[in-house]
Amino acid sequence: MSTCALPRPFGFPMTQTGVGVSKESIDIKALLEEATRSFSLPASFSWRESLMTKVEEIFERCVQAGWDGYDAEPISFDSRLATLKAIALLPDNIVPPDAVPEPAGEISLEWRSGNDLLFSLTVTGRTLIYASIVGGHSRQHGEEQFFDRLPKTVLEILAQYFCRR
């Protein structure tokens, strides 16, 4: 896990309060505290959070049938929940995926590095569907049950090919 814990900025006295402290300095203190909190969070927090935001945005945007210009089904509430759950369970030290709406009304998580490493994962309810291309001729695809943890197959692919160095 990569944690980016920065020292307190400029040695600002974070506990300074009381009479004689201006409103501006209280505002600055609040901002610095917020910044310190952000810096103390694991690096994975920011991509995980923005990915979850993207899932929510897709869910809201793809609410009508035919959102893809063809016959796509609306993104289902179940798919949204299952995808958010999968994101929460992803390891910290991986390359962040992209979230992509699929015509069956689901959301996939996509990893791609160049033209030789591709991994696509779709979770809906308790089913997880995946397919990968890793290198010239290595292909895998399958379906797994999804409960409270990501299946070993998926974790192995992520660890082996999409680990953040």
Partner 1 sequence: MIDSLRRFWRFLLSIFVGADHLPDRVLPEEPVSRFILDKDQFRQERGFIYPAAFLPSKKTANTSVYRVESLPETRIWQLAEKFVTALRADKKPVLARADIKAKTAFHQDLAIQPDRLPHPRHANIINSPADRPAQKAKALELAKNAKLRVRPEAASS
Q: Which stretch binds partner 1 (CB under 8 A): 21-29, 39-47, 67-75, 79-87?
A: 67-75
For the record, the structure tokens of 106 come out as 């689901």
Closest contact distance (angstroms) between CB of 35 and partner 1 is: 29
Binding mask 106-135 for partner 1 (x = CB under 8 A): --x-x-x--x--x-x-x------xxxxx--
Contact 90, 84 (CB under 8 A): no
Torsion angles phi and psi, residue 82, rounded to 5: -65, -35
Residue 131 pairs in a beta bridge with: 120, 141
For the record, the structure tokens of 80 come out as 């949204």
- Roughly what angle, to the nearest 10 degrees, separates helices 77-89 and 43-61? 170
Of 22-61, binders to partner 1 (CB under 8 A) are 58
Q: Which stretch binds partner 1 (CB under 8 A): 24-32, 42-50, 88-96, 103-111?
A: 103-111
Distance separating alpha carbons of residues 53 and 44, to the nearest angstrom: 14
Q: Is residue 143 a contact residue for partner 1 (CB under 8 A)?
A: yes
Q: Which residues bind partner 1 (CB under 8 A)?
A: 58, 62, 66-73, 98-105, 108, 110, 112, 115, 118, 120, 122, 129-133, 139, 141-143
